[in-house]
Chains A and B, each alone.
Chain A
Amino acid sequence: MFEARLSSATTLKKVLDAIKDLLNEATFDCNDSGIQLQAMDNSHVSLVSLTLRADGFDKYRCDRNLSMGMNLGSMAKIMKCANNDDTVTMKAQDNADTVVFMFESQNQEKVSDYEMKLMNLDQEHLGIPETDYACIVRMPAMEFARICRDLSQFGESLVICCTKEGVKFSASGDVGSANIKLAQTTSVDKEEEAVIIEMQEPVTLTFACRYLNSFTKATPLTNQVQLSMSMDVPLVVEYRIQDIGHVRYYLAPKIED
């Protein structure tokens, strides 16, 4: 028996919005420590890794490890039927071929359930090595989304250059070029507005705007985003999900042909 309850459907709606741009379907691996999802986008360029810890749920029970392959388009149709303040419960029997989403209104007067067919997905799992990154940037998630959106207009690639002083985002193309520099915050009044840089070595890397823009669909989950970078290894874009886990995106830097 698997059962996971969240007191507000908003979190699950936001999680789904954060991954469905990149993934059409994905396997939710459930065990007694929580729910894990790891999947590459269709073109195998980026990797999405989602962790929802058992202790972050209002109720969580998972008697046996369970892998639930879901069509995220179908899941989105179902999640659209939940109000933000509904309680949402996901339920499945052991070895089931369906999952049930149950929504309960705050006053308990409306209860809906949606049963969705599960899929057998043959997905490759990747081992992500522990890495000490040369630069780690923490910045407002909204600001990062804005920069990716703005600079995408000027080119299909975004260059991120990180030094001790700050981080510079650049794009160039037919129109011309664009640069946005963010200085490291000197006095932190509001932590969620701060730009913090932990640098071992400066790095300059080039990334595809298209994927960065997809990653920023996770922006509503949190105030701050963390970018971890080293030369010649994938960028990690991490959004923490308050009290329950995180979604991380991995994207390989573009390289000279």
Chain B
Amino acid sequence: RKVQPSIKNYFNIL
């Protein structure tokens, strides 16, 4: 089953 990761997992928080 596929899950939806947060976009925050891919971009650094500035």
Interface residues of A (CB under 8 A from B): 40, 43-47, 124-129, 157, 206, 208, 233-234, 250-252, 254-257
- A40 contacts which chain B residues (CB < 8 A)? 7-8
Q: Min CB distance, B6 to chain A, in Å?
A: 5
Binding site for A on B (CB under 8 A): 1-14
A251 touches B7 (CB 8 A): yes
User: In the complex the two chains form, what is the Cα distance from A13 to B9 in whole Å?
Assistant: 32
The answer to whether B3 and A255 touch across the interface, beta carbons within 8 angstroms, is: yes
**Of B2, B5, B14, which is in contact with the most chain A CB atoms at under 10 Å from its CB?**
B2
Closest beta carbon of chain A to B14's beta carbon, Å: 4
Q: Using known A-B contacts A157-B2, A206-B2, A255-B2, determine if residue A44 contacts B7 with beta carbons closer than 8 Å.
A: yes
Report the bound CA distance from A129 to B10 in whole Å.
9
The answer to whether B3 touches A47, judged by C-beta atoms less than 8 angstroms apart, is: no
Check if A256 sits within 8 Å of B2, measured CB to CB. Answer: yes
5 other A-B residue contacts (CB within 8 Å) besides A129-B11, A256-B2: A44-B7, A47-B7, A47-B11, A126-B8, A126-B11
Residues of B within 8 A of A45 (CB): 4, 6-7
Q: What is the CA–CA distance of A40 and B11 in the complex, to the nearest angstrom?
A: 12
Other-chain contact of A126, B2, B4, B5, B13 (Cβ < 8 Å): B13
Cβ-defined contact, B3 with A46, below 8 A: no
Task: List the 8 closest A-B pairs by CB distance, nearest first.
Answer: A126-B11, A254-B2, A125-B14, A127-B12, A44-B6, A252-B5, A257-B3, A47-B7
Chain A residues in 8 Å Cβ range of B1 = 256-257
Minimum Cβ distance to chain A for residue B2 (Å): 4
Residues of B within 8 A of A128 (CB): 11
Tell me the nearest residue of chain B to A208, going by C-beta: B4
Q: Which residues of A contact B9 (CB under 8 A)?
A: 252
Query: B13 — nearest CB in chain A belongs to which residue?
Result: A124
Closest-CB distance, A62 to chain B (whole angstroms):
21
CB <8 Å contact, A234 and B10: yes
